[in-house]
Amino acid sequence: MTNMMKIIQTGILLALYCCVLATPASAFEFRSFTSISKPMKVPEGATRPDKLEPLDPQIIKQAVYDLAKAWNGQGFSELIDPDFANAEQLLLVITNDVPRNARLEVLSVQSLSTLDQFIKKVEDGEDRTSTVTATVRMQIVFNDPVNGFQRLEGTNELLFRIEEEFR
């Protein structure tokens, strides 16, 4: 009976030890955050509207699909803003680390927000530039020589600067 008690005690201690070890693991999970936006610098001769006008959601959705199309083909580097801090690093990672047969697919566009706008008068009308964020569920699919078909899904926040002409 004492042997059996020792086994039970050891089992209980082992279970408690596992519970203690498992507790700190939850602190390592990633937490999403929403950054506090600040207005972008207004170019000379431009003004901010009194109220942000939301863009037509179709314009933003089209920009998301255009981005995926460019990523899958040619012209992705032309879509990246020259002010983007890590543009060269991003392009280098895509070129060197992403499999050649990988495709980017948009699964859904979940939320759209206009963060900032400015209007600039030009000779034949006005140009409106809007900074817009889109939360997008997307996936990369490719065939891995060792593991076969791979699908990597994720949710990303994309930032667009959209220029519209009002003539």
What is the pLDDT at residue 25?
46
CATH class of 55-167: alpha beta
Looking up tokens 């209007």 gives 119
Q: What is the band of 141 on the pLDDT scale with cuts at 50, 70, 90? A: very high
| Residues 14-68 pLDDT 10s | 444 444 444 444 444 555 656 665 666 777 888 888 898 889 999 999 999 999 9
Closest CA to 30 of 155, 151, 133: 155
Phi, psi dihedral angles at 47 (to 5 degrees): -130, 155
Q: Return the closest-CA partner of residue 118 out of 61, 45, 36.
A: 45
- DSSP character string of 115-163: EEEEEEEETTEEEEEEEEEEEEEEEEEEEETTTEEEEEEEEEEEEEEEE
Kindly list the domain boundaries of the chain, sorted by start residue: 55-167
**CA dihedral of residues 72, 77, 80, 83 (deg, nearest 10):** 160
Does residue 104 have a pLDDT over 90?
yes
Give the alpha-carbon dihedral of 89, 90, 91, 94, to 10 degrees: 120
Q: Which residue has the higher pLDDT, 40 or 90?
A: 90
